Amino acid sequence: MSLNEDPAFWASARKHLTRYSPGDFEHLIVERAEGSFVYDADGRAILDFTSGQMSAVLGHTHPDIVATVNRQMGQVAHLFSGMLTRPVVELAERLAALAPGLERVQLLTTGAESNEAAIRMAKLVTGKHEVVAFAQSWHGMTGAAASATYSAGRSGYGPAAAGSFAIPAPNSYRPRFTNPDGSNDWQRELDDAFELVDRQSTGNLAAFIAEPILSSGGILELPAGYLAALRSKCDERGMLLILDEAQTGIGRTGHMFAFQRDGVTPDIMTLSKTLGAGLPLAAVMTKPEVEQAAFDKGFLFYTTHVSDPLPAAVGVTVLDVVERDGLVEKATARGEQLRNGLRALQQKYECVGDVRGRGLLIGLEIVTDRQSKAPGFELGAKITEECMARGLSMNIVKLPGMGGVFRIAPPLTVSEAEIDQGLEIMGEAIGAAVTGC
């Protein structure tokens, strides 16, 4: 019998664990992880193409991270929030140097927490309360962050925050507005969306919060020029622009931060997931004038783990490794290898409707029919099962009006051979799912 079938383990899990999402847990017991792989109780290696929860940019148990945790735990891990340590100041300085203009930094724990702080700051600074987000967004499961999350989790929890508005995110594969050549007319879509926002607003628009690539929304990338146009819409209305780079930050897209491709600096940027390489670390970065205005108005966002030295030291090490090992450039090279392989699968299999994304954040959309683009939810689920059976962990999101979209985000440390291995397994899995073999 497989060691993953441990009856006592699963009986205890069923009895004591809260089920925090509609899906079930993977039926395996993970004993350890290293590099691009996790290992189950049978010692089977499973290639992790989601970087844990889209976070482990350096892979699992990276030796530099392990050394930093061991060292910092022996010095100081947590303090009264009014005290400062060298790792905190160093990480803030390093981040500010990487994102000129966003020179004020607050270190927190999770993406939801950093988005809460960003939205709270925007409301205080502008004196307004209305927040706009994309209808396919995910910014967290707490308070204001949940009110700005539209891809899931809105039903059954009571009213969202007053002044919560949503607009459609641009989707080049399923465009709502088209140019004469059939391409996505995102400018007309954006104009139309803000006309509706203006009609609903009470004159209290405080901020727009956006992901440069909407991950839980199905890897929807803001096209070139969109971010600048969105910046203009915000400026015209006195709104602050908040960019949530939880998954796109720290090199994953081939830039240190995704917004840098467009040359558009937000008023506030939030980081999480990738900054801690799998440990709970987040940051809110903002312009000095925004921070000053917030401070003058008595900004309060005081948490138990603000400015904790242990995760801050890990963040410094993450930046060290990314720079030392050229991982931003590797994300571009490995991402191109991955996209080329996925496009080859698209040529082979009719069910692969679209391949999109940047760097090592790629979406693979599964459809039942390429002409109608009918969502292939069941087929996508079969492919997921076939991948896992062959030793590849893949994550699929299912949204109304879209096919099942695989979010493919290997660690930035992934090797060429591991990319090829993942592509080979995907090809086998799609083939098996399509033929039913």
Distance CA 318, CA 64 (A): 8
Catalytic residue status for 15: no
Give the span between the Cα atoms of 83 and 99, in whole angstroms.
Answer: 25
- CA 381, CA 403: separation in Å to the nearest integer? 11
DSSP line for 67-124? HHHHHHHTT-S---TT---HHHHHHHHHHHHHSTT--EEEEES-HHHHHHHHHHHHHH
Q: Which two tokens stand for residue 383?
A: 């492919």
CB distance 26 to 385 below 8 Å: no
Q: Identify which of 62, 112, 436 has the alpha carbon closest to the alpha carbon of residue 271.
A: 112
Please identify which of the residues 211, 291, 354, 418 carries the catalytic annotation: 211
Structure tokens at 50: 């989601």
Query: From the candidates 116, 386, 407, 418, which is the catalytic residue?
Result: 407
Q: Quote the CA–CA distance of 40 and 6 in Å, as a whole number.
A: 12
Decide if 273 is catalytic.
yes
- Tell me the sheet residues that pair with 107: 283
Q: Is 398 a catalytic residue?
A: no
Question: Is 416 among the residues known to form the active site?
Answer: no
Q: What is the sign of the dihedral through the CA atoms of 403, 404, 408 and 409?
A: positive
- Catalytic: which of 237, 273, 287, 382? 273
Catalytic residue selected from 244, 262, 267, 386: 244
Write phi, then psi, for 268 (nearest 5 degrees): -140, 140
Name the active-site residue from 128, 247, 252, 358: 247
Q: Per DSSP, what are the bridge partners of residue 407?
A: 363, 395
In the set 72, 123, 138, 221, the catalytic residue is 138
Secondary structure (H, E, C), 299-348: CCCCCCCCCCHHHHHHHHHHHHHHHHCCHHHHHHHHHHHHHHHHHHHHHH
C-beta neighbour count of 373 within 10 angstroms: 17
Nearest-Å Rg of the Cα atoms of the chain is 22
- Which residues have a catalytic role annotated? 138, 211, 244, 247, 273, 407
